[in-house]
Amino acid sequence: MERLPGFRDFYPEPIPHKDVGSADARQYIFGKWRAAARRYGFREYDGPPLESLELFTTKSGEEIVGQLYNFTDKGDRAVALRPEMTPTLARMVAAHERAYKKPIKWFALPQLFRYERQQKGRLREHFQFNADIFGEADTAADAELIALLIDTLRSFGLTAEDFVIRLSSRNAWQEFYKRGVPSAGHGTGGEYQFYQVIDKLERTSPEETEKKLAALGFSLDAVNGFIEAGEPTVELKAMLDNLTARGLGDFVKVDYRVIRGLAYYTGPVFEAFDRKGEFRAIAGGGRYDNLVKLISGGKVNLPALGFGMGDVVLLELLKARGLLPQFDGGVDVFVLIEHEALRLESLKLIQDLRAAGRVVEYSFTPAKPDKQFKRAQELKAAHTASVEADSKVRVRNLLTREEKIVMPEEVGKLVGGPPSS
């Protein structure tokens, strides 16, 4: 029996096949995501992987259904596996925001699901780092969020030479649009259509774009001129000053080609890209001040902003830059049982070492000493330890080959760093 198409199995390293995921790499990424969020004072939350379909159509319209992993459950409810975390988060915040002091700074590491036409290698699930701030309208919050994004990527060893945050603003484009439409000659849909054209600028031919812009009353030259000037708005200027004060100025540039496809963004928006342009966006986000109101049916109104960073592009980038560490089980000590008469005494030593926080392996059944030693090497154990007939323990450092004979209670501090919690 096989796994479903578009899903990943995660195996311990070294992974047995290139088509399966690495559980160790996944945990490594999760650990870095969590640690960065915590340093920034973000608190963890999570919601159900399954939600009512209505939650997602309320936010994104009925057309989202075509991309969802949705179905009718045994209780006749229209439900869907979550395709993104923001609707769940807005629902949770709206339900209990009064219990939390503002600003609310929360993060989550959800698995997300989409059911699109199957393409080779295209996944139907991925994990995402989501960080959001609620209840703060000032651009200081936007700068804080972008600083977290930058420092998260830096914590993997990526530098300003590897990636850049392209910073833009819905407000800048809104002003541009309004300046360009002096007469009331366009319907209300014009502004949204205009954003769609800008969003597809890099994936559309100039001729095609020219035509679409003309239909909306704009010229490609004017649009390109605005992009090339890249004059930061007052809000973007404040964010740049804030980030520069932190020493993060080299990681951001104003780039109005970024506008973010999703209709609900309301202010500054941004995307993280690798500098060489080899990969899709590493992360993206921005302000969405109206969403909590929409999801709560008008009951709660809170300014909000956030970003999402997926595990798939990040993993590809880290691999390409040689930034993934070697993973092994981190065995501190392999206890050799050289005489079966000493097995029970050895079990006691194993127990005590684990109680002291050490990662300990041994052979379950009688095996020749050289076979046991070979296994210790395969497991990349840092040390071996063996109980001697006089109940003392021979400890060998497999890196330095140094040997010591010590009392059992002294082994723990010889074979590892500080105890794990």
For residues 74-93, which are near a second copy according to CB under 8 A?
74-75, 77, 79, 81, 88, 91-92
Strand partners, 307: 131, 285
Stated as kind and residue range, the H or E segment containing 384 is strand 383-387
Question: Closest CB to a second copy among 227 and 294?
Answer: 294
Residue 1 binds to a second copy (criterion: CB under 8 A): yes
Residue 23 binds to a second copy (criterion: CB under 8 A): yes
Residue 379 binds to a second copy (criterion: CB under 8 A): yes
Residue 325 binds to a second copy (criterion: CB under 8 A): no
| Binding to a second copy, residues 382-421 (CB under 8 A) | 420-421
Residue 9 binds to a second copy (criterion: CB under 8 A): yes
Q: What is the largest CA-CA distance in the chain?
A: 97
| Burial category of 173 from C-beta neighbours within 10 Å (exposed 0-12, middle 13-18, buried 19 and up) | buried
- Least Å from the CB of residue 310 to a second copy: 17
| Binding to a second copy, residues 159-198 (CB under 8 A) | none
Residue 365 binds to a second copy (criterion: CB under 8 A): yes
How far is Cα 210 from Cα 213, in angstroms, rounded to an integer? Answer: 5
Residue 55 binds to a second copy (criterion: CB under 8 A): yes
| Binding to a second copy, residues 125-164 (CB under 8 A) | 125, 136, 138, 140-141, 144, 147, 151
DSSP helix/strand/coil, 253: strand
Task: Give residue for tokens 């050490």.
Answer: 358
Question: Closest CB to a second copy among 40 and 279?
Answer: 40
Stretch that binds a second copy, among 222-230, 231-239, 357-365, 406-414 (CB under 8 A): 357-365
State both tokens at 331. 């065995």
- Least Å from the CB of residue 260 to a second copy: 23
| Binding to a second copy, residues 247-276 (CB under 8 A) | 247-248
| Binding to a second copy, residues 283-312 (CB under 8 A) | 295, 297
- Residue 394's Cβ-side half-sphere holds a number of Cα atoms within 13 Å equal to 11
Q: Which of 149, 127, 130, 140 minimizes the C-alpha distance to 40?
A: 149
State both tokens at 211. 């035509």
Strand partners, 165: 252, 272
Size of the site for a second copy (CB under 8 A): 103
- Least Å from the CB of residue 29 to a second copy: 13
- Binds a second copy (CB under 8 A): choice among 10, 61, 214, 340: 10
How far is Cα 309 from Cα 154, in angstroms, rounded to an integer? Answer: 14
Stretch that binds a second copy, among 105-113, 171-179, 188-196, 274-282 (CB under 8 A): 105-113
- Binds a second copy (CB under 8 A): choice among 60, 86, 103, 251: 103
Question: Closest CB to a second copy among 216 and 414?
Answer: 414
How far is Cα 32 from Cα 38, in angstroms, rounded to an integer? Answer: 10
Stretch that binds a second copy, among 109-117, 171-179, 228-236, 382-390 (CB under 8 A): 109-117
Residue 378 binds to a second copy (criterion: CB under 8 A): yes
Question: Closest CB to a second copy among 234 and 344?
Answer: 344
Cβ neighbours around 397 below 10 Å, total:
15
How far is Cα 279 from Cα 257, in angstroms, rounded to an integer? Answer: 17
Question: Closest CB to a second copy among 10 and 250?
Answer: 10
Instruction: Report in angstroms the alpha-carbon separations of 377 from 19, 332, 342, 368, 402.
Output: 27, 12, 22, 15, 15
How far is Cα 228 from Cα 233, in angstroms, rounded to an integer? Answer: 14
Radius of gyration of the chain (CA): 27
